[in-house]
Chains A and B, each alone.
Chain A
Amino acid sequence: MSLALDVLTILSVSTGAFFFLAGTVGLLRFPDAFSRLHALTKADNLGLGLVVLGLLFQAGGLLAALKLVGAWLLALLAGATITQLIARTARTDRSTM
């Protein structure tokens, strides 16, 4: 049973890490701020979700699992806010150039 859980954890965390890698490649290769933001938020939120999913299999109890999910939701919220703010600043910068 625990072997199956370990395999699931490794699979989820590896997929999550791959998504983070994809997001970083997007950050480095995309031409302008908006496409970079798009790549980052989509890939990083999904990547973090998969990593948290993988860790849920290893969590010792319901409270620890809830804390992990809570951390993911907070990161989601913070990421969404920052993306909005950066995108707005980029748009006003572009319109004043």
Chain B
Amino acid sequence: MAFDIGLAILVLGVAAWTIAARDTFAAVIGFVAYGLLLALVWVRLAAPDVALTEAALGSGLTGGLLLGASTRLARTQGSAAIDKPSAIIRRAAAVLCTLVSAGLGAIVLLLPEPAPTLAPQAAANLAATGLGNPVTAVLMAYRAIDTLLETVVLLLALVGIWSLAPDQLWGGLPGRRYPVDRDGVLTFVAQLLVPVGILVGIYIFWVGSIAPGGEFQGATILAAMWIFATMARLADSPAVSRRWLRLVLVVGPAVFFAIGLAGFAIAGGFLAYPEAHAKLLILTIEVPVTLSIAATLALLVGGPPERALR
């Protein structure tokens, strides 16, 4: 309990520093630290799958995205100072936010006892899905339609980002060309670490059916390894108009949707699995979805095309 109090105070302290820091770069570093501490909180809340996702996606990829943006926007730091709201607005905002926090805190303290829960039903039907991890069962079997729509939302965000390219760069290569690493430090580490990282990513995806892990966590690690390889100039981003890239992006949701439609024929409902083949079908969905999501996440961090197609 004392550890939890200390951790909660630390999380709030780092979050307060993220808000209060003058320099945007410092605030982003604070945000990355906050994300890692939040992953610890998730472990204490007995949610290791969420902890993995928060550490990899919420802290890692989001931190990388925001760091890149803050360096590009560094020149605009000073000019926004004239837009700072007056002291009255700041005080009113503080009062409003305290009220909101107090309201949410009251809700937390007044949560119903005994707590309503779907855990018994989730555990009872776990054997029918052939999985050992209840969170993966929820994501891929009980609420599979949410996961299907989530992959589509990721694709839509990517399309939105790509559509921001200026006309002459349409269909070009996303992200900038990183400078050549003359001393070879980054190249050496990337050559060492990227194969290990790919292995770890595939392992975390594979073990997600019986232990904490899953396709989103594994896909995030694979995406991070790709981004690392492009930073070390071991690979370059493909142009967004390449057909094979678009195929890789779409194959996951497409297979998911197809198996969902097939569920009408073989099990009597959209995304229903026949009990004998549930694990096999879930695996058939998960492999292309992991690939697609890894590519989508890497391209989301890359941003709109910035170099024209030659």
Contact = CB atoms under 8 A, between A and B. Distances in A.
B183 interface: yes
Interface stretch (B7-15, B126-134, B186-194): B186-194
Contacts of B189: 77-78, 81
Given A81-B185, A81-B186, 7 more contacts: A77-B189, A77-B193, A81-B189, A84-B183, A84-B185, A85-B186, A88-B183
A85 B183 CA distance: 10
Interface string B166-187: 0000000000000000010110
Interface of B: 183, 185-186, 189, 192-193
A74 B192 CA distance: 11
A44 B158 CA distance: 39
Contacts of B193: 74, 77
Interface in A49-86: 74, 77-78, 81, 84-85
A4 B185 CA distance: 43
B interface SS class: helix
A59 to B, nearest CB: 17
A84 B184 CA distance: 10
Contacts of B192: 77
Contacts of B185: 81, 84-85, 88
Nearest to B193: A77
A88 B185 CA distance: 10
5 contacts: A77-B192, A81-B185, A81-B186, A84-B185, A88-B185
Contacts of A84: 183, 185
B182 to A, nearest CB: 9
B73 to A, nearest CB: 19
A46 to B, nearest CB: 21
Contacts of B186: 81, 85
Contacts of A85: 185-186
B177 to A, nearest CB: 18
B227 to A, nearest CB: 15
Contacts of A77: 189, 192-193
Nearest to B192: A77
Contacts of A78: 189
A25 B171 CA distance: 50
Contacts of B183: 84, 88
A77 B183 CA distance: 16
B248 to A, nearest CB: 28
Nearest to A81: B189
A84 B185 CA distance: 7
A81 B181 CA distance: 12
A23 to B, nearest CB: 15
A74 B185 CA distance: 15
Contacts of A81: 185-186, 189
